[in-house]
Structures are given as C-alpha cells and as structure tokens.
Amino acid sequence: MNVASLAPLAVVLPFLGAAWAFVLIRHPRAQRRVSLGTLTVTLALEVWVLARVWQSGPIAVELGGWAPPFGIVMVADQFSSLLLVVSSAVSLAVLAYATGQGAADGEESGPVSVFHPTYLILVAGVSNAFLAGDLFNLYVGFEILLTASYVLMTLGGTGSRIRAGITYVVVSVVSSLLFLIAIAMIYGATGTVNLADLAIKLGELDPGTQHLLHVLLLVAFGIKAAVFPLSFWLPDSYPTAPAPVTAVFAGLLTKVGVYAIVRTETLLFPTDHFNSVLLVVALLTMLVGILGAIAQTDIKRMLSFTLVSHIGYMIFGVALSSVIGLAATIFYVIHHITIQTSLFMVTGLVERRGGNSSIMRLGGLAKLSPILAVLYFIPAMNLAGIPPFSGFLGKLGLLQAGVADGSPLAYAVVVGGVVASLLTLLVVARVWNRVFWRSAADAEDPDAVLLSTAPDASGKESMRALRSSKHVDATEGRFSGENEVPILPKMMVYSTMGLVVLGVAMTVFAGPLFDLSQDAATSMLERTAYIEAVLGLGAGNP
Amino acid sequence: MSINLTLLLVMGVLYAVGLYLLLERSLTRVLLGLMLLANATNILLLATGGYAGLAPIFNKDIPSSAYNDPLPQAFILTSIVISFAVTAFMLSLIYRSWLLSRADHIQVDQEDIRVAMQDLYDDEEDSEIAIEVSDFHENNQPLGKRETIPGIVPKRVIDAKAVATSKKDVHPESPVLKTPEVQSPTGEKE
C-alpha cells in the first residue's frame, strides 16, 4: 500500500482533533496539547506524502470504494501536496502563537475555549479544498473553512468584529452561492463533477457554454481570492479579528481561492483563455491594493491591503499560462503564505508591546525591543522583494515569465509589478521608520504603554517584561487577565521566530523549491498525469 | 427532455426577490435575501437532474433510464445543511449587533472614514519644514503666527517641544486613549 494513499488523513486527523478538543473544552491545557499534537502529526504525514508524490507523481485515493468518476476522489499532486505542507506548517506556527497568547492572558472561561476546535476545523477545511478531486467536494471544503472562519472572525463578539464579521459572512455566502450555481450548471452541461472527468468533457462543450461556466467559476473564486474588483471585503474585515486569526486568514484563505483559480485555468479550461482579462485584473489588483496600503495608518489594515496587492502577482503568473509563469506563481504562493502570516504575527506582538497598531502612536520599538525589530525587518524586506530574499526570487521569476511572453499587455503588467513592488517597499519602510526607528517621543500621539515601559535589556528580558492590567484596553479586551500578564510571551515570540526562519529557509532552499514548482507546473499544464491518476491509464490521451 | 417550467419560474422569482433583499441595508432583510438565493440555487440544482423519474433504488427489472438522477438531490441536501448552519450563525450575529448598537443596519467602518478624511500627505514625508528663526519664542505661538520661510504655508507642523510637554501630561499609569471621534454620516438618522 502506498503511503500517499494516506493523504485523506490530512482532513480526517484535524477533524478528530477538533472533536477531541471540543470534549476537553473545560481543560485548556489538555486542549492545547491535543490541538498542537494533532497538527504536528498532520504536518509530518503531509511531508511524507509530499516526498512520495514528488517521486511518483499524482496519486488519487478513492473514498468509499466507488470508482471515479462516480465516487468521491481525493487527489494529491505536486501542487496540492506542496501547499498542504506549507499551510500545515504555517497553521501549526499560528496555533502555537495563539496558544502562547491564550496561556499568557488566562483563558479559563469565555469564548476563547471554542478557538481550538474551530481552528482545527478550519485546517481540515483548507486541507479538504486542496485535496478535493471533484468540484462539489471543493465546495464542501470551502464551506468547512468558511464556516469555521466566521466563528473565528467574530470571536468575542465585540462591536467592531460583529460589524466586520457580518460583511465577511454575507460576501462569503454570496461567493459560495455563485460557486454552487456554477457547479449546478456544469453538472447540467456535462453530467459530472469529477475534476479529471470534467477536464475531458468540458473541452467537448460549445465554446459559448464554456465561456459562461468559466466566467462563473472565476468570479466565485475571484471573490474568495480577493482579486481586484472583488477584493473590497478583505481590508474591511481582516484587521478587526484577533491577531492569530488575522495571521492565519491572511496566509491561507485567499490562497485557497488562488489554488482554485489555478486549477480552473490549468485543469478545467486549458483551451478557453481569458488571459488578457486576467492580466488586466492582475495589474489592477497589484496597483489598487498597494495604493490602498499607502493611505493606511493602521499596520493591520495596511498589511491587508498589501495582501490584496500581492494576490495580483499570483494571478499574473496564472494568466501567462506558461510553465515558467505557473512555476513562479506556485513559488510565490508558498512564499507569500509564510511571509504574510509572519508579518501579521509580528504586528500582533507589536500591538502587545506598544499597546497600539497605529503608526501614528508608535515609535522607538527598535530600542525598546530589538528582537521585534529583527522579526519585522526580515519578512518586511522579503515581502518588498529585496534581494536575496524569496520574495525577490518569486518576483524575478514572474517578471521573466512576463518578458518571455512578450505581448504588450504582459510588459505592462511587468512594469506594474515593479511599481507595486517599489510601493510595497515604501509602505513597509514607512512602518519601519515610524514604529521602530524614530524615538517614541517623536510619535504624533504616543501610546501610554510605549512611554511607561522600560527597554528590554535582551531578548530573554523582553519576554519576561510585565504589563499591569491597568492598561487593559476595554474595547478590544486584549488583556483579559486580572493579574499582570507577560507582555511578550515566549511561545508567541518563538512561534513568530519559527515562521520567519521558515521564510528565510525558503530563500536558502529556493533552488530545490523552484525545481519542485517547475515540476508541478509542467505536470499541471500537461494534465495527463492528473487525469490518469484519477481515471486510469490512457484516459488522458483522447 | 421535458422542462418543468414551474420550477424554473419559481427559481427566477426567488433569484430576483433574493437579490433585491440582498441589496438592502437592513441585516434581517439581507439574511432573508440570502435564504431565498440559497433556495433558488437548490431549485437550479434540482433542475439539472433532468426530468422526474423513479426513486433511484436499484431493481434489475427497471431500465436505468427510468430512474431519477440522485446526485443533484445529494448536492441539494448538502447545500441545505450548509445554508441552515450559516443562517443560524447570521441570526446570532444580527442579534448580537442589535444588542450592541440597537440597530438592524450594517454599521459604518469608523477607521475607513477616518482614513478617507485624513490629510492627503503624510506629515513626515511631505510637509514643508518650518524654519525656526529663533529658539526662544515661536514654539509657544499658535500655528499661523510662526515664522517660516516667506511664501511657504506650514502644514501641520510637528513641534518637538509641544510633544515633549504633552508627554509629561500623560501619566504613565493612565493611558490617554484618544480614539478619533468621527461621526458616521448615516448613523445619526435613527
């Protein structure tokens, strides 16, 4: 029996963990252990699956013993198993971060105890979406992760979270309905929802029908991935959620949308091209997103806008539909998951340390807490694409692919990509200058926490600094404990550090990673390996 | 293949009404709109199953074409369960929103309005630098009276001494939380 056929466990294990964590809802410590343990085991399994898939190509697992295209299949190919590994690693780091925060603030009661089971369900939903071998299972995966995300988004039920949560829920439900309508029409047109089967049957349809189905799917996934005209909801809803939740949403949820777009473009509609539309959309996403980021003074909102902007790069690579473009997109996706999540985690730490997340009210953190400065600087420069970081390598790959394409529109997007990248540098450098570099006294309206705390003497010291509960921010309820709470809990700092190191490791091992991305891109564009893995040998060659 | 026109007409009406309700600002109406849209989609799924047939319980005497297609009905079942869960969650959100703000409306994003109303430029990067002619008197004067280079109107001048004095006012133990008070343009109507 092949190890890779254990891939569905990536969905089952988090579900079991969630159930277990829910039973242990009155025992926070046991609950933490269960959820951390579950994710660690899942990650190990996925690394194993990735190793096997890398060697032997895509593997389909038939669930319930029904042969495809009738039964439900789960497919692990290079792209999905790579994304599984990265997403699990990131969600493990964020879980450790959230655990550190919960342990520090005291979470014996209240809605926080719901966090662990819900979080595990979110992870299960993400894995299910990545592994789904049919369109309806992809829909179910989306729904699992979205329903979990509704709960996480409105955790605590404060006014601002409810406001943002309602917009988020309505937009997500509408996009899911669009997806469902697309599934209904595709089923009506072809009589199947199996992706591999669809890959063959959709091509036989009338071009007009293909256009309609293609556009429906792209709009539904475009909302989920926050592609420009459909990205309005993201900067509105993400920043209000608790720090770990925003971090994991920023890293994973939009990427599931991007994953679905990549699958649509490569597997389902390889001949029906909307490339010029996608290129224009990619350009607009990059520029509008980053211009929005420039206007912001709140770091979390600013990062949400850069998130939208960088989705544009991924759409760019998909729109080129060449091997190098797709490979660069894959590389960029895994780079961006890691980097964007670590930036949001650092912002959560900055908010704890400085009492605020507005750049008008922060300053002098480089002196107060050097470790935070380092933890911000590395992913920030990585995001902006400064050599030699992976952000630079990913962008370089995309720009090369754009130049290789050679059409005027592709050149325009290349120029737009460079401009967006420079503006990203401007935005993150402004945060650096204000929050870390200038002295606290120079801040327009310095936060009281900033002025009342002494500098951390060393990295260890910073984690032991205490904050009086008098500084509790009642509206957000961030520091709910009655007693003094550690200002920078070790677990939070270490998990952030771990993710920053993972980001740097992607730079160091960029060569093998890019090879893997190229393998994945080649096999996705050829399609035969995927189709044959599901439907059997010979099915891929009509 | 015969088409069930009633089904399609009902679907169309549900979509139209649902879309109309979705565009309202009242949360309860939005929720009703979403429910109608979900049901319209369920009918669409049902319609893709083709004409009505026998229940799909296998019997070797019945030809396979006489059965109804069970798959769309399985889809509908899943979709009903999901929309049920989401509706329940939306209701609890609306109730919570009502408790917090006594309004059945989507609230205004204050931060968004604040960003929209802020100055065009970033002070630090774009302001003209006020030239201090003397070290002694001008810092206590109001903004408009300060001596600057002729012809250059100072924008918001950041005054190091003013910040330093205001800093002393802030007692370390009592944080001054100045959240920008922005009146919502629509929130006052109720």
Answer yes or no: do B86 and B125 share one domain: no
Of B38, B93, B158, the CB nearest to A162: B93
Distance CA A443, CA A77 (A): 51
- Report yes or no: A185 at the B interface, CB cutoff 8 Å: yes
Query: Looking at the domain assignment, is residue B175 inside a domain?
Result: no
Query: Looking at the domain assignment, is residue B47 inside a domain?
Result: yes
Give the pLDDT of residue B125: 53
| Rounded mean pLDDT, A178-193 | 92
Examine the pLDDT at A103 and tell me if it is beyond 80.
no
Please give the tally of structural domains in chain B.
2
B173 and A442 within 8 Å at the Cβ level: the answer is no
Share of chain A above pLDDT 70, in %: 89
- List the CATH number of the domain containing B88: 1.10.287
Give the pLDDT of residue A305: 93
Q: Which residues 61-120 in chain B show a CB within 8 A of chain A?
A: 71-72, 75, 78-79, 82-83, 85-86, 89-90, 93-94, 96-97, 100-101, 106-107, 109, 111-112, 115, 118
Give the count of beta carbons closer than 10 Å to the beta carbon of residue B138: 15
Distance of CA A232 to the CA centre of its chain: 17
Q: Which residues 343-372 in chain A show a CB within 8 A of chain B?
A: 355
A448 and B163 within 8 Å at the Cβ level: the answer is no
Answer yes or no: do B56 and B121 share one domain: no
Answer yes or no: do B87 and B13 share one domain: yes
Give the pLDDT of residue B100: 86
Mean pLDDT score of chain A: 85
Q: How many Å lie between the alpha carbon of A278 and the closest alpha carbon of chain B?
A: 27
Of A317-331, B27-41, B42-56, the least confident = B42-56
Distance CA A255, CA A142 (A): 12
What is the identity of the amino acid at A298? Answer: D
Answer yes or no: do B49 and B131 share one domain: no
SS (H, E, C) A109-132: CCHHHHHHHHHHHHHHHHHHHHHE
| Rounded mean pLDDT, B42-60 | 82
Beta strands in A210-305 (DSSP E): none
Domain boundaries, position B162? 110-169
Q: How many Å lie between the alpha carbon of B61 and the closest alpha carbon of chain A?
A: 22
| Confidence band for A452, pLDDT divided at 50, 70 and 90 | low
Q: Are A398 and A325 in contact (CB under 8 A)?
A: yes
Of A478, A484, A488, the closest CA to residue A456 belongs to A488
Of B48, B85, B177, the CB nearest to A147: B85
With a CB cutoff of 8 Å and minimum separation 6, the contacts of A1 are: none
Structural domain spans, chain A: 273-469+484-508
Query: Looking at the domain assignment, is residue B31 inside a domain?
Result: yes
Mean pLDDT score of chain B: 72
Pairing label, strands A466-467, A485-486: antiparallel
Which residue reads 């925003």 in tokens? A246
Query: Looking at the domain assignment, is residue B178 inside a domain?
Result: no
Answer yes or no: do B34 and B73 share one domain: yes
- Report yes or no: A209 at the B interface, CB cutoff 8 Å: no
Interface probe, candidates A162, A172, A234, chain B, greatest B C-beta count within 10 A: A162
Give the pLDDT of residue B49: 78
Answer yes or no: do B52 and B134 share one domain: no
- What backbone phi and psi angles, to 5 degrees, belong to B76? -60, -40
- Report yes or no: B27 at the A interface, CB cutoff 8 Å: yes
| Confidence band for A462, pLDDT divided at 50, 70 and 90 | very low
Distance CA B48, CA A98 (A): 45
B86 and A169 within 8 Å at the Cβ level: the answer is yes
A contacts of B109 (beta carbons < 8 Å): 163-164, 236
Of A343-347, A394-398, B104-108, B138-142, the least confident = B138-142
Taking only the tens place, the pLDDT of each residue in A44-92 is: 999 998 888 888 888 888 887 777 778 888 998 889 999 999 999 999 9
Where is mean pLDDT largest: A77-81, A273-277, B16-20, B93-97? B16-20
Answer yes or no: do B91 and B13 share one domain: yes
A contacts of B43 (beta carbons < 8 Å): none
Give the count of beta carbons closer than 10 Å to the beta carbon of residue B146: 18
B contacts of A443 (beta carbons < 8 Å): 163
A164 and B109 within 8 Å at the Cβ level: the answer is yes
What is the identity of the amino acid at A95? Answer: L
H/E element holding A494?
helix A490-508
Query: Looking at the domain assignment, is residue B116 inside a domain?
Result: yes
Give the pLDDT of residue A485: 60
Interface probe, candidates B8, B30, B48, chain A, greatest A C-beta count within 10 A: B48
Distance CA B190, CA B188 (A): 6
Give the pLDDT of residue A468: 39
Query: Looking at the domain assignment, is residue B187 inside a domain?
Result: no
Answer yes or no: do B94 and B27 share one domain: yes
- Report yes or no: A441 at the B interface, CB cutoff 8 Å: yes
A297 and B41 within 8 Å at the Cβ level: the answer is no
Query: Looking at the domain assignment, is residue B27 inside a domain?
Result: yes
Q: Taking CA A461 as the corner, what is the angle to CA A493 and CA B176, rounded to the nearest 5 degrees?
A: 80
Q: Which residues 28-47 in chain B show a CB within 8 A of chain A?
A: 30, 34, 37-38, 41, 44-45, 47
B75 and A441 within 8 Å at the Cβ level: the answer is no
Distance CA A264, CA B63 (A): 36
Answer yes or no: do B30 and B86 share one domain: yes
Give the pLDDT of residue B167: 43
Examine the pLDDT at A247 and tell me if it is beyond 80.
yes
Answer yes or no: do B96 and B117 share one domain: no
Answer yes or no: do B76 and B159 share one domain: no
- Report yes or no: A174 at the B interface, CB cutoff 8 Å: yes
Q: How far is CA A20 from CA A14, A26, A45, A413, in A?
A: 10, 12, 19, 48
What is the identity of the amino acid at A493? Answer: V
Give the pLDDT of residue A411: 92
Taking only the tens place, the pLDDT of each residue in A294-349 is: 888 889 999 999 999 999 999 999 998 889 999 999 999 999 999 999 999 999 88
What is the identity of the amino acid at A252? Answer: L
Using the 3D structure, point to which of B79, B101, B123 is the last residue of a domain. Answer: B101
Answer yes or no: do B19 and B82 share one domain: yes
| Confidence band for B165, pLDDT divided at 50, 70 and 90 | very low
CB pairs under 8 A between A and B: 130
